[in-house]
């Protein structure tokens, strides 16, 4: 099963590699891994998408909590989070296919951010499933380059992570 976990960490030296190496040394999977600072002084947030059964997930959360620099671990498996991802997609766009690309971009409410006579570069954001979908539609037209950020998640509702 796929799980999205947010890890709030102290901005200490080497903390990202601590979290990442925990996954590798214990044989946990990483589908995507993003870390960046937050609005709170000294705290960064790492969002990890992983997969495994319930007992694996339990060990992952416990082991993350055990790291000295980890302030909080939030597991969004219950659907309590909103997930977003961004992708930059460079597609071949010549002659008739130019219109087709524009149509797809329009349907997905994506943006063209760079144009040449032979290509479009598209910025798409949304739920990771939506990103998958737009890529699938563009692929037959010729995707030259693709960059995805991996998912980030925030809890639903009025409360912040600290309550």
Partner 1 sequence: MKMNGARILLECLMKEGVDTVFGYPGGTVLNVYDELFGCKEIRHIMPRHEQAGTHAADGYARATGKVGVAIATSGPGATNTVTGIATAYMDSIPMVIITGQVPTALIGNDAFQEVDIVGITRSCTKHNFLVKDVNDIAPIIKKAFYIARTGRPGPVLVDLPKDVQIAKTEFCYPESVELRSYKPTTGGHPRQVSKAVSMLLASHRPVMYVGGGVILSNAAPELTALSRLLSIPVTTTLMGLGAFPGDDVNSLGMLGMHGAYCANMAMTHSDLIVAVGARFDDRVTGKVDTFAPHAKIIHIDVDPTSIRKNVRVDLPIVGDVRDVLTKMIKKVEKSEGDQAAYRESLAPWHEQIAGWKEKHPVSFTRSSAVIKPQFVIQKLRELSDRDAIVSTDVGQHQMWTAQFFSFTGPRTLLTSGGLGTMGFGLPAAMGAQAAFPGRQVIAICGDGGIQMNIQEMATLVQNRLPVKIVIINNNFLGMVRQWQEMFFDKRYSQSCLELPIDYIKLADAYGAKGFVASKPSEVETVIRQGFAEPGPVIMEFRVAREEKVLPMVPSGASLNEMLLNA
Which positions lie near partner 1, rule CB under 8 A? 9-10, 13-14, 17-18, 21, 25, 55, 58-59, 62-63, 65-71
**Alpha-helical runs (H) found in the chain:** 15-25, 54-66, 97-107, 128-142
Instruction: Kindly tell me the sign of the dihedral angle through the C-alpha atoms of 114, 120, 126, 127.
Output: negative
Task: Give least dist CB 20 to partner 1, A.
Answer: 10
Task: Give least dist CB 77 to partner 1, A.
Answer: 17
Pick the closer one to partner 1 by CB: 66 or 118. 66
Pick the closer one to partner 1 by CB: 17 or 127. 17
Task: Give least dist CB 94 to partner 1, A.
Answer: 47
Q: Write out the two tokens for 58.
A: 């339990």
| Residue 96 near residue 108 (C-beta atoms within 8 A) | no
Task: Give least dist CB 127 to partner 1, A.
Answer: 30
Pick the closer one to partner 1 by CB: 67 or 135. 67
Pick the closer one to partner 1 by CB: 8 or 122. 8
Q: How far apart are CA 77 and CA 57, in angstroms?
A: 10
| Residue 6 near residue 77 (C-beta atoms within 8 A) | no
Task: Give least dist CB 158 to partner 1, A.
Answer: 23
Pick the closer one to partner 1 by CB: 26 or 51. 26
Beta bridge partners of 26: none
Q: How far apart are CA 12 and CA 18, in angstroms?
A: 10
């Amino acid at each position: 099963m796929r799980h999205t976990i947010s890890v709030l960490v102290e901005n200490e030296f080497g903390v990202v590699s601590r979290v990442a190496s925990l996954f590798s040394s214990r044989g946990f999977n990483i589908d995507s891994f993003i870390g960046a600072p937050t609005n709170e002084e000294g705290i960064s947030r790492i969002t990890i998408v992983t997969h495994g059964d319930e007992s694996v997930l339990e060990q992952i959360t416990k082991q993350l909590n055990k790291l000295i620099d980890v302030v909080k671990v939030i597991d969004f498996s219950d659907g309590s989070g909103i997930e977003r991802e961004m992708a930059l997609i460079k597609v071949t766009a010549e002659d008739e296919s130019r219109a087709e690309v524009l149509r797809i971009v329009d349907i997905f409410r994506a943006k063209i951010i760079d144009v040449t006579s032979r290509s479009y570069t598209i910025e798409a954001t949304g739920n990771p499933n939506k990103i998958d979908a737009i890529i699938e539609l563009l692929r037959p037209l010729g995707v030259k380059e693709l960059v995805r950020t991996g998912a980030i998640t925030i809890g639903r509702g009025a409360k912040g992570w600290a309550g």
